[in-house]
Amino acid sequence: MDFNHVTVMKRRAVDALSVKPDGVYADCTAGGGGHTAEILSRLNENGTVVAIDQDPDAVAALRERFAGEERVSVVQGNFSSIRQILGNLGLGRADGILADLGVSSHQLDTAERGFSFHAEAPLDMRMSKSGLSAYDVVNGYTEAQLTRVIFEYGEDHFAKSIARRICEERAKEPIADTLRLAEIIKTAIPARARREGGHPARRTFQAIRIETNRELELLPGAVREMFAMLSVGGVLAIITFHSLEDRIVKNEFRAFASGCTCPSYFPVCTCGKTPSGRVREKGAPPDPDELAENPRCRSARLRSIEKIRDETSVSGG
Ligand SMILES: C[S@@+](CC[C@H](N)C(=O)[O-])C[C@H]1O[C@@H](n2cnc3c(N)ncnc32)[C@H](O)[C@@H]1O
């Protein structure tokens, strides 16, 4: 199966994991397997990579790519279930965990998946091909819910008028395809704003995709689970693609690194919790060479954290 995706920060992200040749690694967003293959190239015969993706098409491509490779286990699932996924394979903690968030080029470029506003397709956008679809969001959410989604996840100033136009149009006939939705969004945006800042539907499509796949809702808990499943000395590396997910990862990492959970207005720490992680990469961008070759990586940021203590421990007592 052809799987078209150029791996972002391939060496850099895997360097961040400081791979041990006989270690256990999880690639939580394996996609076309670029990072998985890079990790594998640094393992000896005793090492293991668990390649996870929630998209059945990616999983089929991964099974084909790594057929006969005993050190790779391909699993279809959501990375928020990392604990269960590693447990089912009889693996304990991992020595390194990687997540390269968002959608793959394969998903974006496969018109019938409904992620793109450039190609006519049913409104779908489900990475896992199951559950709530973009059609359900666009046709089933109230105007207030749509405004919130488009404003929060698309950071679009015209969220209110886009949501209103969607509701007016769907009252005539359900909005079932991508190009009709893109056209409706266009008519909700003032002509002057349409000429600035890329395609007018870009932000709304991003917002609906994030909502459909519960990307930001699941992320904080998933980061905590991934960190919990690391061995001491292990590294969690995450590549983000927009400011909202990057902020979530930064805040979770900061909490592992500071340990203390006292409210900021407390004059002194009373919880006594000590750090369980040490932050390494703090939002590093791709190298200029990579940026020149692959414009889709321009918003990528790499963050990583090393686990220095098994659990947040309480001192004293
Ligand atoms: C940017 S691509 C990863 C590409 C991959 N690193 C490569 O080199 O080909 C993101 C992938 O993560 C998957 N994905 C996104 N969120 C996920 C989640 N919560 N659980 C599992 N997979 C997820 C998507 O289906 C997609 O295939």
- Looking at every residue in the chain, the average pLDDT score rounds to 93
Distance 183 CA to ligand 1 centre (A): 29
Distance 30 CA to ligand 1 centre (A): 6
| Per-residue three-class SS string for 65-82 | HCCCCCCEEEEECCHHHH
- The reported pLDDT for the residue numbered 317 is 30
Give the mean model confidence (pLDDT) for residues 139-163: 96
Look at the chain and count its residues. 317
- The reported pLDDT for the residue numbered 315 is 40
- C-alpha to C-alpha distances, 117 to 120, 123, 186, nearest whole angstrom: 8, 10, 11
Give the mean model confidence (pLDDT) for residues 293-309: 94
Give residue-wise pLDDT tens across range 210-244: 999 999 999 999 999 999 999 999 999 999 999 99
Give the mean model confidence (pLDDT) for residues 263-277: 88
- The reported pLDDT for the residue numbered 312 is 46
Give residue-wise pLDDT tens across range 18-44: 999 999 999 999 999 999 999 999 999
Comparing 83-87, 169-173, 184-188, 310-314, the range with the smallest average pLDDT is 310-314
Nearest CA to ligand 1 atom 20: 78
Q: Which of the listed residues 53, 63, 218 should we mutate to test ligand 1's pocket, taking the one with most ligand atoms within 8 A of CB?
A: 53
Distance 55 CA to ligand 1 centre (A): 8
Which domains can be identified in the chain, with CATH numbers? 10-105+217-307 (3.40.50.150), 129-212 (1.10.150.170)
Give the contacts of 194 (CB within 8 A, at least 6 positions apart): 186, 200
CA separation for the pair 119, 111 (Å, rounded): 6
User: How many Å from the N-terminal Cα to the C-terminal Cα in the chain?
Assistant: 59
Give the mean model confidence (pLDDT) for residues 56-70: 97
- C-alpha to C-alpha distances, 241 to 75, 191, 308, nearest whole angstrom: 24, 28, 27
Question: Is 120 within 8 Å of 179 (Cβ atoms)?
Answer: yes
Closest CA to 239 of 4, 13, 6: 13
Closest CA to 201 of 186, 179, 191, 180: 186
Strand partners, 278: 306
Classify the phi-psi angles of 114: left when phi > 0, otherwise alpha if psi is within -120 to 50, otherwise beta: left
- The reported pLDDT for the residue numbered 198 is 78
Closest CA to 72 of 93, 57, 84, 89: 89
Position with higher pLDDT, 118 vs 194:
118
Distance 312 CA to ligand 1 centre (A): 29
